[in-house]
């Protein structure tokens, strides 16, 4: 049941990306090129997606559970640390190179685009490598220093 | 200089509302945050009862271009980068989003909508890095 809702949510998310133009890396690069011919479309996508999501979060904060009584799982991490900023900068650099971030990358796989598939394989490989590195770090450090990746946004 | 010919606010608004609705669906029906890097990355840290919804969400994303093609139009996906660039960028995006605990969806939409200071800082940081990268690629190296 939960998986069925997640499937529907993923589908609507993907259609939203395609309708908005954000599944097109060339258009995303047009937004990131502030010194060139700048395409502000991405700002409109955020300005419309964020308020709708904010209403959902308001409801979630009040209910603390889904419409089916399942506890809502929100990120608990609050620290603004070097990992957060370094990770975001590394991500932004990769985003700027091609114009793909994780969701559109998965869409290009579905669209059967070879460049997108290559990008997605590299992305997933790096995610797997991250887990391996984290596990090695956790074994080296005392227990109190681990768990830093809990609570993804 | 704004590229008015490329600016598509109407379809952007419709798509943005759909993305917001998808966030609402996952949050209020499944109890999860629609952060795509976290959903995918979590598969490499599998826990009982925590795998099916992640796979299902990703399947939804992956099949969406086919549904879009059937219902609306052929998806426009223009990728110009060379294969070495695609691989480097994919590695940076994969590692960076896991280290920074989120991407454009998790920090940029979900976190911003909760006014999470963490997500606001992350969003400003990845946007700034994206602006600088495109500036260097298009106006320093290519110029």
pLDDT tens, position by position, A113-148: 999 999 999 999 999 999 999 999 988 876 555 555
- Give bridge partners of residue A44 from the DSSP assignment: none
Query: Which residues in chain A have Cβ-Cβ distances shorter than 8 Å to B97?
Result: 87, 91, 101-102, 127
Q: Which two tokens stand for residue B107?
A: 């920090």
Last residue of a domain, one of A74, A96, A124: A74
Inter-chain residue contact A9 with B102, CB threshold 8 Å: no
A70 in the same domain as A83: no
Give the pLDDT band (50/70/90) at residue A151: low
The answer to whether residue B17 is domain-embedded is yes
A101 in the same domain as A87: yes
Last residue of a domain, one of A42, A74, A106: A74
A2 in the same domain as A65: yes
Q: Does B51 touch chain A (CB under 8 A)?
A: no
d(CA B47, CA A137): 20
Who contacts B124 (Cβ-Cβ below 8 Å, separation ≥6)?
none
Who contacts B70 (Cβ-Cβ below 8 Å, separation ≥6)?
none
Contact map slice: B 79-138 vs A, CB within 8 A: 79-81, 83, 85-114, 116-119, 121-123, 125-135, 137-138
The answer to whether residue A60 is domain-embedded is yes
The answer to whether residue B2 is domain-embedded is no
A64 in the same domain as A23: yes
Average pLDDT, chain B: 96
The answer to whether residue A113 is domain-embedded is yes
A126 in the same domain as A58: no
**Contact (CB, 8 A) for B40 and A124:** yes
User: Which residue on chain B is closest to A82 by alpha carbon?
Assistant: B100
- Domain that includes residue A53, residue range: 1-74
Give the pLDDT band (50/70/90) at residue A73: confident
Residues A69-96 have a mean pLDDT of 93
Query: Which residues in chain A have Cβ-Cβ distances shorter than 8 Å to B22?
Result: 9-10, 12-13, 16
A111 in the same domain as A44: no
Residues B106-132 have a mean pLDDT of 97
Q: How far is B141 from chain A (nearest CA, A)?
A: 12
A41 in the same domain as A9: yes
Q: Which of B96, B93, B100, B113 is nearest to B33 (CA)?
A: B113
The answer to whether residue B1 is domain-embedded is no
Q: How far is A76 from chain B (nearest CA, A)?
A: 10
User: Which residue on chain B is closest to A42 by alpha carbon?
Assistant: B12
A135 in the same domain as A111: yes
DSSP A37: S
Residue of A1, A4, A6 to mutate when probing chain B, most B C-beta within 10 A = A6
Integer CA distances (angstroms), B38 to A103, A126, A135, B113, in order: 11, 13, 17, 17
The answer to whether residue A13 is domain-embedded is yes
Predicted pLDDT of residue A23: 98
DSSP A70: P
d(CA A3, CA B56): 6
The answer to whether residue B4 is domain-embedded is no
- Between B91 and A150, residue with greater pLDDT: B91
A89 in the same domain as A117: yes
d(CA A80, CA A2): 32
A111 in the same domain as A66: no
Number of Cβ pairs closer than 8 Å across A and B?
515
In three-state secondary structure terms, A21 is coil
In three-state secondary structure terms, B17 is helix
**pLDDT for B2-48, tens place per residue?**
999 999 999 999 999 999 999 999 999 999 999 999 999 999 999 99
Last residue of a domain, one of A74, A102, A130: A74
- The vertex-B51 CA angle with B49 and B53, nearest 5°, equals 95
Q: What's the number of domains chain B is made of?
A: 1
Predicted pLDDT of residue A143: 58
d(CA B138, CA A16): 28
Inter-chain residue contact A111 with B87, CB threshold 8 Å: no
In three-state secondary structure terms, B2 is strand
Q: Name the helix (H) or strand (E) containing B122.
A: helix B117-135
- Domain that includes residue B30, residue range: 9-141
Q: Is the pLDDT of residue A68 over 90?
A: no
What percent of chain A stands above pLDDT 90?
A: 76
The answer to whether residue A38 is domain-embedded is yes
Residues B52-78 have a mean pLDDT of 97
Predicted pLDDT of residue A81: 95
Query: Which residues in chain A have Cβ-Cβ distances shorter than 8 Å to B62?
Result: 14, 106-107, 109-110
Give the pLDDT band (50/70/90) at residue B103: very high
A68 in the same domain as A15: yes
Q: Does B47 touch chain A (CB under 8 A)?
A: no
The answer to whether residue A153 is domain-embedded is no
Average pLDDT, chain A: 92
Predicted pLDDT of residue A141: 73
Q: What's the number of domains chain A is made of?
A: 2
Predicted pLDDT of residue A77: 85
Dump the DSSP string for A114-149: HHHHHHHHHHHHHHHHHHHHHHHHHHHS-GGG--TT
The answer to whether residue B124 is domain-embedded is yes
Predicted pLDDT of residue B132: 98
Q: Is the pLDDT of residue A104 over 70?
A: yes
What percent of chain B stands above pLDDT 70?
A: 99
Query: Which residues in chain B have Cβ-Cβ distances shorter than 8 Å to A34?
Result: 131, 134-135
The answer to whether residue B3 is domain-embedded is no
**Contact (CB, 8 A) for A79 and B118:** yes
A40 in the same domain as A8: yes
Inter-chain residue contact A93 with B129, CB threshold 8 Å: yes
Q: How far is B91 from chain A (nearest CA, A)?
A: 5
User: Which residue on chain A is closest to B105 by alpha carbon?
Assistant: A103
Predicted pLDDT of residue A144: 55
Distance of CA A84 to the CA centre of its chain: 14
């Amino acid at each position: 049941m939960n998986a069925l809702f997640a499937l529907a949510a993923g589908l609507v998310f993907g259609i939203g990306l395609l309708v908005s133009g954000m599944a097109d890396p060339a258009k995303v690069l047009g937004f990131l090129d502030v010194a060139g011919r700048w395409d502000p479309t991405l700002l409109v996508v955020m300005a419309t997606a964020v308020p709708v999501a904010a209403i959902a979060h308001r409801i979630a904060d009040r209910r603390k559970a889904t419409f089916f009584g399942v506890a809502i799982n929100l990120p608990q991490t609050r620290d603004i640390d070097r990992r957060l900023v370094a990770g975001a900068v590394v991500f932004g650099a990769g985003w700027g190179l091609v114009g793909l971030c994780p969701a559109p990358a998965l869409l290009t796989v579905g669209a059967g685009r070879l460049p997108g598939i290559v990008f997605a394989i590299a992305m997933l490989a790096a995610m797997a490598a991250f887990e391996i590195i984290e596990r090695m770090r956790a074994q080296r450090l005392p227990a109190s220093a681990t768990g830093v990746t809990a609570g993804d946004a | 200089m704004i590229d008015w010919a490329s600016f598509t606010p109407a379809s952007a608004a419709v798509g943005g509302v759909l993305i917001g609705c998808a966030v609402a669906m996952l949050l209020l029906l499944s109890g999860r945050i629609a952060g795509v890097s976290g959903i995918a990355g979590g598969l490499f840290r599998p826990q009982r009862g925590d795998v099916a919804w992640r796979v299902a969400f990703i399947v939804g994303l992956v099949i969406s271009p086919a549904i879009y093609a059937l219902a609306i139009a052929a998806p426009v996906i223009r990728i110009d980068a060379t294969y070495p660039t695609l691989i480097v960028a994919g590695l940076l995006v994969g590692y960076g989003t896991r280290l920074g605990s989120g991407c454009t969806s998790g920090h940029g939409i979900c976190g911003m909508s909760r006014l999470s200071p963490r997500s606001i800082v992350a969003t400003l940081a990845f946007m700034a890095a994206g602006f600088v990268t495109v500036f260097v690629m298009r106006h320093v190296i290519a110029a």
